[in-house]
Each structure stands twice: as C-alpha cells, then as structure tokens.
Amino acid sequence: MGHRRPLIVVAVLALLLITATIIWEYFGVEEVSVVGSTHYTDDQIEDMVMTGLLGHNSLYLKLKYRNRSITDVPFIERMDVTINSPTSVTINVYEKAIAGYVKYLGRYMYFDREGNIVEASTEQIPGIPYVTGLNFDECVLYEPLPVEDPTVFSTILAITQLFDKYDISADRIYFSDSGNVTLYFGNARVILGTMDNIDEKMMKLKNIIPSIRNLSGELHLEEYSADKDEGYVTFEKDQ
C-alpha cells in the first residue's frame, strides 16, 4: 500500500494537469465583441472586464459574471457578459444617458436628461455638450442640478438629440436668462433664439456649419423657418 500511494498522487496530479490544460485550451477566448460603448474603446472595455490570469477563459468568465453585472465604471450604467461559445464572448455596455455637463470647482459635472448629476470627472468627454448660462449654487453627485427652471433639461435633451440626428457637434450651448439658446462653434456663435421651429433650424444649420466654423461672428437663425427662408438667415462678422 505504501508503494501505491506515490503512484496515486502522481496519477491525481497528472489528471489535474490534463484537466487544467483542457480547460485552458478549450475555453480560451479568441473572439470578443463589445456592443454599445462610445466613451471607451473596445480594447479598454475588454481590459476592464477580462482581468487576471484567467481573464480570457470563458468558463471562468461564465462563473465570475453569472447573474452579475459590472457597475463600477465611470459613465457606464452596467456591463453584462454573455458567453456565446467556449471561444467567443460578448460584452454588452449600457452607458449612462448623459445630456450635457457643467463646470464646478474645477471638475466636469455630467448630468442626465432629468438634470441629475451622474458623474464627476477631471476628464472631458468628446461629443458631450458643455452647457453654460445655468444658475446654480452647488453641484452634488447623484443629486439634481439645482436650477430655477428644471424644464431646461428637456430642452437640452431635445437639442442633443437633434445634434445626433443632423451630425452636429457644438462646443457649447448657452442659455440666456430669458431661455434663448446660442450654440458655439469655435468663434462662431449661432443664435437659435427660442425652440420654435428648432428641427428646421438645425437642418438649416447642418448645411451652414462648414462655411462658418473658422469664422468669428454671429449667425442669426432665431427668425428662421422653412417657409420663410430668404432674408431670415444672416451672418455678422465680428469687427
């Protein structure tokens, strides 16, 4: 019996080694699909999710993320991992619905469509509009931005949705005390005025932006509508 014990140990170790090798080789992830990420690259998302020595092993990932989402990543609501096959996984990214940001105490404070501050960062994210003209005394993470008229956030959302629709990227959105809207593109300022005919104004603006982006002055669209085009769009260069 004493002579058999080392043989049993060797056999068990060999079996464990064979099993580990099969798991390592058969469940090695070769294809990763990232869906829904705009703030981070696919490689960045992969590095966040597939961590550690076994990070690229589908069996390990299945056990690690079974019934569990990843929720501690800035600008992301959650990430879910789906195992498609032993060699293929999909990472579904659900980003926070960010409408814009304000600056407060040297940080970028990002808010959602209801005006709730969802992220505070020293990083400026491209494609998220900087909103100015809002009056507030403080800015607290996970709380609403305390402005006098909360309906301004639905206006911001409507504008950013039109940005997406017409592929427009403004540097800044400014709200005057009376609620009129001005967009900034470098040194060019676009006076939209009220939200009347806003879809038509944005459609017109899309075609004008290339010719004014490098200019300094004001484009007036506050009186524009599709049925009164001529004479209602003017550009005044700065002196």
Q: What confidence tens digit (pLDDT) does each residue in 127-148 have?
A: 788 999 998 989 999 899 999 8
Same domain, 59 and 129: no
How confident is the model at residue 23, as a pLDDT? 61
Q: Are residues 62 and 138 in the same domain?
A: no
Same domain, 131 and 53: no
Let me know if residue 126 belongs to a domain: yes
Residue 5 belongs to a domain: no
Query: What total of structural domains would you count in the chain?
Result: 2
Q: Does 121 lie in the same domain as 177?
A: yes
Mean pLDDT taken over the chain: 87
Q: What is the pLDDT of residues 151-196, one digit of tens each?
A: 888 888 889 889 989 999 899 999 998 889 999 998 999 999 999 9
What's the CATH number where 141 sits?
A: 3.40.50
pLDDT for residue 85: 93
Task: Examine the domain organization and report whether 31 and 148 are in the same domain.
Answer: no
Residue 21 is assigned to a structural domain of this protein: no
Per the domain annotation, does 129 fall within a domain?
Answer: yes
Tell me the C-alpha to C-alpha distance, in Å, between residue 55 and each of 31, 49, 58, 74.
13, 8, 8, 21
Whole-angstrom Cα distance, residue 221 to residue 88? 51
The model's pLDDT over 19-67, given as tens digits with 9 standing for 90+, comes to 666 665 678 899 999 999 988 899 999 999 999 888 898 988 999 998 8
Same domain? For 159 and 231 the reply is yes
Tokens (6 digits) for 70: 């990843």
Flag whether pLDDT at 81 surpasses 90: yes
Element at 19 (helix H, strand E): helix 4-26
Q: Is residue 166 part of a domain?
A: yes
Residue 200 counted as domain residue: yes
The pTM of this model reads 0.71
Give the C-alpha separation, 107 to 129, whole Å: 15
- Whether 18 is in a domain gets the answer no
Check whether residue 110 and residue 169 sit in a common domain: yes
Q: Which of 53, 77, 95 is the last residue of a domain?
A: 95
Q: For the domain that residue 55 is a member of, what is the CATH number?
A: 3.10.20
Are 77 and 124 within one domain?
no
Instruction: Give the closest residue to 114 by CA, choosing from 65, 155, 171.
Output: 155
Stretch 110-130: mean pLDDT: 88
Strand order in the sheet with 31-35: 31-35, 88-95, 76-85
Domain extent, residue 184, equals: 98-237
- For 101-193, where are the alpha helices, taking DSSP H only? 152-166
**Backbone phi, then psi, for 121, in 5-degree steps?**
-150, 155
Q: Which residues touch 26 (CB under 8 Å, ≥6 apart)?
A: 86
